[in-house]
A and B are shown apart, each in its own frame.
Chain A
Amino acid sequence: GQQLNQSPQSMFIQEGEDVSMNCTSSSIFNTWLWYKQEPGEGPVLLIALYKAGELTSNGRLTAQFGITRKDSFLNISASIPSDVGIYFCAGHLRQGGKLIFGQGTELSVKP
């Protein structure tokens, strides 16, 4: 089936460092969404991207919808311990359709 390739799988960084993760696909997506999930909780939406080339920020988070519609990245600047969690990219191939998920990036931040 359709897949999103998300990398890296895990990251161990020092507090204050910047973080970058990305997702790529062989298919064209209508929407790119970035979520964060903490243990025992459902995913929480961080950023939603709807147009090719769109660059959106949410506090220390910045994400972009690739111009080819086949990729997206998420950057976190000046990481803090509460950034710890698993980050998922997800995309819609069509409006109202099911989400395709990346495999997740597990982020660990050392104080």
Chain B
Amino acid sequence: GAVVSQHPSRVICKSGTSVKIECRSLDFQATTMFWYRQFPKQSLMLMATSNEGSKATYEQGVEKDKFLINHASLTLSTLTVTSAHPEDSSFYICSANHRQGALTDTQYFGPGTRLTVL
């Protein structure tokens, strides 16, 4: 149980285009999902917290108009990188918060999406 999928796993796009990444919790409902970015040999950097039915909460320094997040259902959050540029090339990972009982929040991660902007 507690499986999170991400689609696509890899995407290559031209500079100036927009790219949408989907994150789904397959066997549980998640009111909260998270989007991370990871550079080689580094830890995960939280970009934003995605809340079902409300606006996402962005971390300091993350442009909300560039990284659009939509959490339309309890099993799906999407991240859209708008007007992508080469510096947006990175590994993007989502996670979904699974609450099985009181005081047992656990985040399960998707397999990641490698974005390359030419």
Instruction: A44 to B91: give the CA distance in the assembly, Å.
Output: 16
Q: Which of A30, A42, A92, A99 has most B Cβ within 10 Å?
A: A42
Q: Is A101 an interface residue (CB 8 A)?
A: yes
Interface residue count on the A side (C-beta < 8 Å):
23
Q: Is B67 an interface residue (CB 8 A)?
A: no
User: Do A102 and B46 touch across chains, with their CB atoms under 8 A apart?
Assistant: no
Instruction: A48 to B97: give the CA distance in the assembly, Å.
Output: 13
User: Do B43 and A103 touch across chains, with their CB atoms under 8 A apart?
Assistant: yes
- Among the 9-residue stretches B68-76, B77-85, B110-118, the one with 4 or more Cβ atoms under 8 Å from chain A is B110-118
User: Do B32 and A43 touch across chains, with their CB atoms under 8 A apart?
Assistant: no
User: Do A88 and B43 touch across chains, with their CB atoms under 8 A apart?
Assistant: yes
Contact pick for A35, options B97, B105, B109, CB 8 Å? B109
Chain B neighbourhood of A104, CB < 8 A:
43
23 cross-chain CB contacts under 8 A? A30-B105, A31-B105, A31-B106, A35-B109, A40-B112, A40-B114, A41-B112, A42-B6, A42-B93, A42-B109, A45-B2, A45-B107, A45-B109, A48-B104, A50-B104, A95-B103, A96-B99, A98-B46, A98-B49, A99-B46, A99-B95, A101-B43, A104-B43
Binding site for B on A (CB under 8 A): 30-31, 33, 35, 40-45, 48, 50, 88, 90, 92, 95-96, 98-99, 101-104
Binding site for A on B (CB under 8 A): 2, 4, 6, 32, 34, 43-44, 46, 49, 91, 93, 95, 97, 99, 103-112, 114
Q: Known contacts A30-B105, A33-B106; can you find 17 more A-B pairs with CB under 8 A?
A: A33-B107, A41-B111, A42-B6, A42-B109, A43-B93, A43-B109, A44-B109, A45-B107, A90-B107, A92-B105, A96-B32, A96-B99, A96-B105, A99-B46, A99-B95, A101-B44, A104-B43
